[in-house]
Amino acid sequence: MRNCKNWFPTPWGAARLLFLRSCAHGFGSVTRHILQSSALVVGLIALGCASETPEQEDVGEAKGPIVIPSGFQHQVIATGLSQPTAMAIAPDGRIFVTQQAGQVRVIKNNALLPTPFVTVTVDSVNERGLIGITLDPSFASNGHVYVFYTSTSGSTHNRVSRFTASGDVAVPGSEVVLVDFPALSTAGNHNSGALHFGNDGKLYVAHGDNAETAHAQDLNHTFGKIHRFNADGSIPTDNPFYGTSTGLARAIWAYGLRNPFTFSVERASGKIFANDVGGGDPEEINHITRGSNYGHGGGPAPVPPVHSYPRDAGRCAITGGTFYNPTVVNFPSSHVGKYFFADYCSSQIWFMNQDGTGVTAFADDSSGELNNPVDLDVGLDGSLYYLQRGSGARVGRIYVAQPACATDADCSDGDVCTGTETCVAGQCQAGTQLSCDDNDPCTANSCNATSGCTYPDNGQCCTSSATCNDSTTCTTDSCVSGMCQFVDNGTCNTCVKIRSQRTNNYLVLDATKKVVPGGTQAAAQIFEKVPSGAAFKFKSSSGSYLRVVADDLTMDATSTTADAFTEYDCSSGGLYPNGKGYAAPAGTAPHWKATSTTGPIKSGSGGNGTSCVTGDATSWERFYAETVSCGSTGPACGDGSCDDSETCSSCSADCGTCSGTPARLTLTHASDSGGWSSVAGLTDGDLSAKVSSAASPSCATYDLGGTYTISSARLLEDNDGSWNTGTWKVQYQTGSGSVDAFAYTDTPSAMPAWNTVDFADVPGVSRVTVCMQSVGARIELAEIEVWGLPDAGPVCGDRACNGSETCTSCPWDCDTCMGSQLGLDARPSNTACVAGDGAIEPPVLLSDHPCVASVANPPALAPGVIPYAIAEPFWSDDALKSRYLALPSGTTFNVKTDGDFELPPGAVTIKNFQWQGQYFETRFFVRFTDGAYGAYTYKWNDTQDEAFLVDPIDGDAKTLAGGHVWSYPTEAQCFQCHTSAAGFSLGLETRQLNVNQLYPSTGRMANQFDTLNGIGMLSGNLTSLPPFPPHAQSAASLQMRADAYLHVNCSNCHRPGGPGYGTADYRYDTPFASKNICNQESILPAYPELALIEPGAHDQSVVWLRMSQRTASFMPPIASKVADGEGAALLQQWINSLTGCP
């Protein structure tokens, strides 16, 4: 889905509760952390208006007006914060607050200290930034502070780091990076970022789904999860998926979460409640338990929430949450054990019982004192502390003033769980909360007001191995001390094919079971990597294992006699950036190394420890291990590597890799007097080269026929394997000059076969000269390879138009190869796909429809049906759509004055809808032979071999992958959008079709308007109007993009004569001053006194408020359950850029 990318600046003013109850996926973008910073104050949370000077107050003074229960009081602790995201309270009462831009601030003695505790470099776009903090359970002694932030080191990703405190600042250089999560997508929301220590001493960390629903159910991916780490960032072996996962995925504790904004650990029981922001679904409070699935993205047997509530009454995103179970109890005893939670949008706080019952309103904001709370915590004094992100960002507390007393008896509440209350200096002091923690993970620790501590079984521990069955054969499951253990049994290991860098060949077995580098990718040996401690044993499909026999790698061992090889990182250098080195467990230099293309791989043939530097003549060799399915034999399309038989046409997934694979040019020196010649039989990907001259007996110059960036060269071998003292060099000509890339002179022993020299890239090379100078000995035959990447040339996928390429032969370069040709040479004959009599019902089965040739994925349409694309699509919850049209022979589209296409009788338009690769709807809009218009649609089955006519009155629905519910429209709903005022047909107009489209029948990319006109399918106004600029096309002006977006999504109803309320006219060609939207008051009662467009204030503009959410009074009113985040971001930017009305 496209994601909500931008939020809403404050102050909210009168529209605070109407602010965009959020885009349907994010906290609309209101998600952990309701964050988005931006220099425009539009920041994903400009939630506390970044350009605004924080409101100044008399700190420490109890004041209102915050609506709280009788007997409670409110106090502002500190102001002056900027875009705060989370807080943690230290044992000495200091409050550590994270700010989205990267600063940790400290509040001490009710004052915000001027010097930040620490500042980290972050990506603070959207909801990214510094967004989580917690303190070590032993903070008082070790000073450890843990933070969650979006790092810009390398790829943009979220990171957990630990700092050490020295007083009120961090020790310089004390950062220890504990966890680096995978790279984020371009979506800036759903980061989550909450982290806390559990009662078991483990560090629990929440990470949102990064706006990709499928992540939440993928146990090989870390997004949409709560993780469990040791305090040093290592992963506990008793985690539920430790034995069945690899890498960071072993840290997963619970999954199926969307955006767990905050979570809290109850100190009495260790229970964890997480607040998961719901988007289009209800807001949830989930009880997080080991290995549980909470349903986001589907999956089996999801655990229902403890409590949920819909997005209504101004509520939109569940934020701060905490258990009230402090050591010092300040609240009445009836509040002890309750779970408190807040809503960001309504600025309210509630509490409930831990079973989800008894939900009670606790605090409400009436004039900004509690504006947009993002975090809650219970302080040492038993007060409830809140972190407010909205205007005048601050930390405050809610507490109960202790009553006057004469004796201890005056203070007793009769509850043994709250300890013994005492009277000190005429004021009641709370007792010490009774601790019921028995450190037993198998029991729930609770306290009865009369009888004290109780320890019922919590159902979280095992009683036998049978209760620990994780339904996989990959682990041996057992029950140890009440906890399930899952130990990898080696039956589900990774399989790889291994390529040798020096030969560029894959490893295979010869007749004697020796491992030799003489295979292609398709014929390569599949090695199963069986973990053996920190090393691996390599197993073949026949069951034999690898060992070293007389320095040769031999596949003849058993699991007990096999050697365990250590894998080293050899990623430096240019040829194989992800290279690996392998070493046997014994020997003087037990590394793997190729000595020829036919001889066995050696292990023990000299070397230098664990070094993998190719410039070192005694280095290890790099190998590249390609992950494949165990048992597969063919090229693994989509594995991210360029396999020998792959091309861009046969495997588009690896096209970029194949077109970027270093090419090689092999040069052969025939003899001292015989000159040089190119080696015959160069394979695909090699540099195409011809000898253009022979300057001397020992040199040759090659004209490359293009320009290349050269990165390395290597001497291969002579004909008898003996190496003679000499000098070899390569000169690269760029333009008119030559550059000596390197000159190599040394003794024979230091210039062995296969030596490779990497060097700084030399771009723009058009000619290569290679020289070999014999010194005191004749060199009979030598080969040299030169490696590089093409700067330009006939490489499919390089986004350049390379001579003979066409859109059919290379669709990846099609956009640059467009010429002046029409997409079609002639109008196709169409006799089958014609709309007939409207009184005749369409076929029940899509396969019986005359416009459809076959129903499959993808479907085939009848001859005469023409594909088309549009410049700016209508928003359809980010479903992928493909469009087609068909006209009866001899008819034309009548292009009206405004560029709208009028369908002739018999015309058919078809639209296919896809979701995650699956077709789920095929929709028809037609004009019958009597001139009336019709609309009907088909619902696809899951097997992708048939689709069925949807009832035109009742419609239908389907739950798509990821849990998205799609509604199939009724005929009446179709005509709510396809209005008579808009000419019924939508999308077919000059500005939409005056763009390029690939025509599969010819392989040409051509302009659609020109093509339809050229083949005689248009009549009327044939003026070539400029196309609509796509909403993401930043080169076009904001005004033009906003006009186009409003035209496509709104003008079908909101135009003169249309059914939309009011006088707004959103047509593209209507000048802004005439659209009747700027400072025009909405007539809807839901938005009293707000304008459709309020210049400079998108959150005060009804147009933006309605289109950017799907909660209530939203637009469009049908056909969408997910708000268009990118569209909302565009309109937000446009509205905020306006300085007034024309």
3-state secondary structure 301-336: CCCCCCEEECCCCCCCCEEEEEECCCCECCCCHHHC
886 vs 1083: which has the higher pLDDT:
886
Q: What is the pLDDT of residue 151?
A: 94
CATH number at residue 198: 2.120.10.30
Same domain, yes or no, for 95 and 171? yes
Q: Which of 509, 495, 529, 530 is nearest to 630 (CA)?
A: 495
Rounded CA gap, 863 and 884, in Å?
12
> Does 8 fall in a domain?
no
Reply yes or no: is the peptide bond before residue 25 cis, omega within 30 of 0. Answer: no
Rounded CA gap, 105 and 133, in Å?
11
SS3 sequence of 1088-1103: CCCECECCCCHHHEHH
Answer yes or no: are the C-beta atoms of 251 and 232 closer than 8 Å: no
Rounded CA gap, 86 and 10, in Å?
19
> Does 444 fall in a domain?
no
Mean of the pLDDT values across residues 425-450?
Answer: 73
Length of the chain, in residues: 1142
Rounded CA gap, 577 and 51, in Å?
45
What DSSP string runs through 456-511?
Answer: -B-S-S-SSGGGG--S-TTEEEEEETTEEEEEE-SSS-EEEEEEETTT--EEEE-T
Rounded CA gap, 667 and 770, in Å?
8
Phi, psi of 580 (to 5 degrees): -130, 155
Same domain, yes or no, for 1088 and 991? no
Answer yes or no: are the C-beta atoms of 145 and 104 closer than 8 Å: yes
Q: Which of 663, 676, 548, 526 is nearest to 604 (CA)?
A: 548
Phi, psi of 387 (to 5 degrees): -110, 120
Same domain, yes or no, for 858 and 749? no
pLDDT tens digits, one per residue of 859-872: 999 999 999 999 99
Same domain, yes or no, for 41 and 136? yes
Three-state DSSP state, 981: coil
Q: Which of 306, 256, 252 is nearest to 283 (CA)?
A: 306
pLDDT tens digits, one per residue of 929-945: 989 999 999 999 999 99
The total number of structural domains in the chain stands at 5
Same domain, yes or no, for 107 and 232? yes
Same domain, yes or no, for 895 and 790? no
Q: Which of 688, 690, 662, 825 is nearest to 756 (CA)?
A: 662
Answer yes or no: are the C-beta atoms of 1065 and 1076 closer than 8 Å: yes
Q: Point out the domain boundary residue: 763, 794, 825.
A: 794
Please say if the pLDDT value at position 587 is more than 80. no
**What's the pLDDT band for 413 if we cut at 50, 70, 90?**
confident
Q: Which of 603, 532, 590, 521 is nearest to 561 (CA)?
A: 532
> Does 483 fall in a domain?
no
Same domain, yes or no, for 77 and 196? yes
Task: Tokens for 554, please give them.
Answer: 């031999």
Q: Which of 966, 738, 921, 772 is nearest to 280 (CA)?
A: 966
pLDDT tens digits, one per residue of 375-395: 999 998 899 999 998 878 999
pLDDT tens digits, one per residue of 744-755: 443 333 333 334
Rounded CA gap, 756 and 717, in Å?
12
Question: 337 is in which domain, residue-wise?
Answer: 31-400
Q: Where are the beta strands (DSSP E) in 332-489?
A: 339-343, 348-352, 360-365, 373-378, 384-388, 394-400, 422-424, 427-429, 446-448, 452-454, 475-480, 483-488
CATH number at residue 759: 2.60.120.260
Same domain, yes or no, for 128 and 268? yes
Phi, psi of 1048 (to 5 degrees): -70, -40
Greatest mean pLDDT range, 60-64, 434-438, 852-856: 852-856
pLDDT tens digits, one per residue of 617-658: 445 677 877 777 675 444 455 555 555 455 544 555 454 454
Task: Tokens for 810, please give them.
Answer: 């290379």
Edge to edge, the sheet with strand 283-288 lists 260-265, 272-276, 283-288, 307-309
Q: Point out the domain boundary residue: 1020, 1055, 1086.
A: 1020
CATH number at residue 519: 2.80.10.50
Q: What is the pLDDT of residue 800?
A: 53
Q: State the sign of the Cα–Cα–Cα–Cα dihedral 1096, 1097, 1103, 1104.
A: positive
pLDDT tens digits, one per residue of 265-292: 998 889 999 999 987 678 899 999 999 9
Please list, residue by residue across 668-689, b when 16 or more beta carbons sit within 10 angstroms of its beta carbon and e when fewer do.
bbeeeeebbebeeeeeebbbeb
Three-state DSSP state, 1012: helix
Answer yes or no: are the C-beta atoms of 840 and 1022 closer than 8 Å: no
Mean of the pLDDT values across residues 813-832?
Answer: 73
> Does 1009 fall in a domain?
yes
Q: What is the pLDDT of residue 1131?
A: 95
Please say if the pLDDT value at position 174 is more than 90. yes
Q: What is the mean pLDDT of the chain?
A: 76
> Does 452 fall in a domain?
no
> Does 565 fall in a domain?
yes
Counting residues of the chain whose pLDDT is more than 70, the rounded percentage is: 70
Please give the span between the terminal C-alpha atoms of the chain, in angstroms, as a whole number. 36
Same domain, yes or no, for 164 and 35? yes
Please list, residue by residue across 728-740, b when 16 or more beta carbons sit within 10 angstroms of its beta carbon and e when fewer do.
bbbbbbbeeeeee
Please say if the pLDDT value at position 87 is more than 70. yes
Provide the total of helices (H) and of strands (E) in the chain, helices listed first.
8, 68
Helix (H) or strand (E) holding 678: strand 675-678
The pTM of this model reads 0.41
Please say if the pLDDT value at position 615 is more than 70. no
**What's the pLDDT band for 600 if we cut at 50, 70, 90?**
confident
Rounded CA gap, 601 and 546, in Å?
12
Same domain, yes or no, for 1076 and 1013? no
> Does 418 fall in a domain?
no
**Which segment of 57-71, 155-169, 883-897 scores lowest on mean pLDDT?**
57-71
Please say if the pLDDT value at position 981 is more than 80. yes
Task: Tokens for 1053, please give them.
Answer: 């109803």
DSSP 158: E
Same domain, yes or no, for 275 and 357? yes
3-state helix, strand, coil in the chain (%, to 5): 10, 35, 55
Residue 280 Cα to chain centre, angstroms: 19
> Does 637 fall in a domain?
no
pLDDT tens digits, one per residue of 119-148: 999 998 888 999 999 999 999 999 999 999
pLDDT tens digits, one per residue of 443-493: 777 788 888 888 887 666 777 777 776 555 656 777 776 666 656 565 667
Same domain, yes or no, for 1088 and 992? no
Helix (H) or strand (E) holding 1048: helix 1038-1050
Q: Which of 527, 531, 533, 532 is nearest to 546 (CA)?
A: 527
Q: Point out the domain boundary residue: 994, 1020, 1046.
A: 1020
